[in-house]
Structure 1
Amino acid sequence: MGIYLPGEGLRHDLIWASGEQLRAFFAADVIAENLPIWLEDSVVEGAIADPPTEAMDMVSALELNEDWAPEIIRRAYGKVDLEMRAAVGAAGEAALAELLLQSGANAVEQISAFDDGAGFDLCVYVDNAEYHLEVKSTSKMRSLKIFLSRNEYEVSTRDPSWRLVTVGLDDTMQVAALATIDQAMVRSHVPLDAPPVGRWASSQLLLSNSHLTRGLHLGHIDIQGTSSDVWWA
């Protein structure tokens, strides 16, 4: 026994949800599937604070109190964000690995394919040197939001071969934009622990061009994205 939601299938954990909650979950799933522009990273907070007409119309059609609108938008955004991050992340790593090999890397190993605790995604061999790349991929030009885990951060502080790289993917999932993220800036913006009770596990960073160095430089390799457009302004 369970509850069926579009895009999620049978959900056994929602059996005890109220009718109002189920209608709200349904609304969020419908919004997530339609992917309106106001679910973009750079504007979603504004949509939560002042729900768009589309969201309010759905709330009204499902006979929900208008107070549900912000929560519906948050849920829709969370669902889209998780699904897109997983798919785009894998595509970005693969596209960057291929580009590195085409540009003269001796070898590229996708560590994330078999070890999610290494603290980086790609191990790249260039000119008898080894580089460890943590790859943050996106298909969004207007904003750059990344998530850095505690483990990734701690590896960055003790591994001189570690690099934080962002990949912008075009519609064909090829590398349109490529940049290296300033590690000193990242270290100055991660949260502070509050021992003995508080310890951060993941940090969200919203970045712009001022935090980036265009391209990726590893030994004799110097590669850029294919797009001449300005990403992440």
Structure 2
Amino acid sequence: MPQLPAEGTMKAAVRWLRALRTADVDRARALFIHHDAYADLTPDQYSSGLEWLLRIGMVPVPRAAQASPALEERFLNLQLLEKSLEAARPDWITGGNEAAFDGTWLPAPGRAVAEVLGLSNTDAAAAVEKAWLTERARVGAAGEQALVTLIARSVHAEVVHVSAFSDRFGYDIAVESAHSRVHLEVKTTTNTTGQTIFLSRHEYETMRTDPAWHLVFLLLDEQEQLTTVSTVSQAWIARAVPRDQHSHGAKWASARLPLPPAALTPGIEALHEYLLPGAPATLLTGSGQSHAVHA
């Protein structure tokens, strides 16, 4: 399973970042190998640390303009954590429960690497949330593209991946014929249990005003192949979203909604009239598949 580099490698990477601000690679390597102060790590660990920095694009060392030495070191160590999480994609990021990532959650592996890097738990938790948001966007894009491909080969209608060029529509995919249209907002996960969807106020208002709008929930397998397609009940969405606080003039902007199995219907019924005869569209019709979410 994908994980961050070992503690010794990360500790070596921190030392490389510090040394390479003032020395070249050969001088820094000689320092690490021959000076007693650095003998707690092996030459192989130093080599692995440098290789990791090269892999994640931190050599040459990025600089924080006009920063004090202490602030620059914090900046570099944060960069190291963020880029390491993005490159390694550890399973506690890719397979984590969506409900946990709120900018404060820091699992044990995250706390361990934060200690190695000399970062506070607050800094590390922010980096973890950023990595998770990046992963969520990547999985979302993969799901949308998989659904666009499936629909395009299964229907006699124009299929437009609208979110590929704008996020202002309130939906991701448009399926249109001369006489009708379907607008699909797509949410995707690779997590088979405990799914949560995130709905923006704009998406919700689009649901309320656009009769062609439907929310589709996708499950991808470990190879990011589409395994399940379900439609989320709009009645459930209306009940599940937060209530505006009219007395204080406050309106919710984004909602985190735990998704129960009862809110899902397999397939996308709104597309049935568009399906081509003999199209490989069991995922779209819902035949042969169960709900995407398991209790």
Q: Which residue of 2 aligns with 1:57?
A: 112
- Answer whether contact 2:62 2:76 (CA < 8 A) is retained: no
Please, which of 264, 267, 285 is the counterpart of residue 215 of structure 1? 267
Structure with the greater alpha carbon radius of gyration: 2
Instruction: Pick which of 220-229 and 30-39 moved more.
Output: 220-229
1:25 maps to amino acid: L
- Work out the CA distance in 1 between the residues paired with 2:293 and 2:243: 27
> Does residue 1:232 correspond to 2:287, yes or no?
no
| Aligned-partner Cα distance in 1 for 2:215–2:207 | 9
Q: Pick the aligned partner of 1:102 from 138, 153, 178.
A: 153
Pick one of 119, 124, 128 that aligns with 1:77.
128
Between structures 1 and 2, the one with greater strand share: 1
Aligned-partner Cα distance in 1 for 2:106–2:254: 28
Percent of residue pairs identical: 31
> Which 5+ residue runs of structure 1 have no aligned equivalent?
none
Mean Cα displacement is larger for which, 83-92 or 144-153? 83-92
SS of 2:193's partner is: coil
TM-aligned CA distance change 1:210 to 1:14, over 3 Å? farther
Q: Secondary structure at the match of 1:86?
A: helix
For 1:56 and 1:91, the matched residues in 2 are separated by: 30
Relative distance call for 1:85 and 1:14 in structure 2 (3 A) is farther
Instruction: Give the structure with the larger helix fraction.
Output: 2
1:41 aligns to what?
A: 97
1:155 alignment partner in structure 2: 206
Deviation, 1:133, is 0.5
CA contact under 8 A between 2:230 and 2:291: conserved in structure 1? no
Whether 1:176 aligns to 2:227 is yes
Distance 1:197 1:14 in 2: 42
- CA distance in structure 2 between the partners assigned to 1:174 and 1:14 by the alignment: 47
Q: 1:74 to 1:60 in 2, by over 3 A?
A: closer
CA contact (8 A) 1:185 1:211 kept: yes
Shift of 1:150: 1.0
Q: Report if the CA contact (8 A) 1:92-1:169 is conserved.
A: yes
Equivalent of 1:199 in 241, 245, 251: 251
**Counterpart contact for 1:27–1:58, Cα < 8 Å:** no
Name the CA distance, whole Å, in 2 between partners of 1:36 and 1:134. 28
TM-score by length of 2: 0.62
1:193 CA displacement: 2.4
Change (3 A) 1:139 1:10: farther
Letter in 2 for 1:41: N
Q: Which amino acid aligns with 2:116?
A: A
Structure 2 unmatched ranges of 5 or more = 1-20, 22-52, 276-280
Q: Which residue of 2 aligns with 1:118?
A: 169
* CA 178–77 in structure 1, closer or farther in 2 if over 3 Å, else same: farther
Write out per-residue CA displacement over residues 160-213 of structure 1, whole angstroms, 9 at most, x where no aligned residue.
Answer: 111000122234433211111111111112222234542222112221322211
- More displaced 10-residue stretch of structure 1: 178-187 or 142-151: 142-151
By how many angstroms is 1:43 displaced?
7.5
Specify the code of the residue in structure 1 equivalent to 2:194: S
Residue 189 of structure 2 is aligned to residue 130 of structure 1: no
More off after superposition, 85-94 vs 158-167: 85-94
Are residues 154 and 25 of structure 1, via their aligned partners in 2, closer, same or farther at CA, if it must alter by over 3 Å?
Answer: same
SS in 2 for 1:224: helix
Number of residue pairs aligned between Structure 1 and Structure 2: 224
| Deviating more after overlay: 152-161 vs 182-191 | 182-191
TM-score by length of 1: 0.76
Please say if residues 168 and 175 of structure 1, whose CA atoms lie closer than 8 Å, have aligned partners that are also in contact: yes
